[in-house]
Structure 1
Amino acid sequence: MQDIQQEKIMSNNYNIETVVEQNYLKIYLNEESYQQLSIEYLLDCLNISVNRVVIIIKYQVFFQFIQQNLILEMIRKAPKLHSIFILGDQQIDELKDKNIFRVDSINEIDNILKSLEKKNSFESEKLNKYGVPIILQELLKYFKNNMNHEGLFRKCAVNSEIQELMEEIRNYDFKRIQSANPHLVACALKQYLNQLQIPLINTELIFSNEINVIGVINDLSEINARVFFMVISFFQEVAKCEEQNKMNTKTLGMLIAPSIMKLSNQCDNPLEKINKTIMFLQKFLESFHKFFPNFHYEELLEYEEIDIGNEVADIDLREEWGRINNVKQHII
Structure 2
Amino acid sequence: MEMFDLSLIWALIIGFGVIMYVVMDGFDLGVGILYPFAPDEDARDVMMNSVAPVWDGNETWLVLGGAGLLGAFPLVYSVFLPALYIGVFLMLAGLIFRGIAFEFRFKSHRNRHWWNRAFCWGSAVAAFAQGVVVGSYIQGFAVEDFVYVGGAMDWLTPFTVLTGLGLMTGYALLGATWLILKSEGHVQDWAYRMVPGLLLGVLAVFAIISLWTPFVNPEVWARWFDRIELIWIFPTLAMACAVWLWRSTRQRQEGQPFVATLGLFIFTYLGLVASKWPVIVPPDHTIWDAASAPESQLFLLLGVLFVIPIVLTYTAWTYWVFRGKVKVGDGYH
Q: Could you say which structure has the higher helix fraction? A: 2
Structure 2 length as normaliser, TM-score? 0.24
The structure whose Rg is larger is 1
Structure 1 length as normaliser, TM-score? 0.24
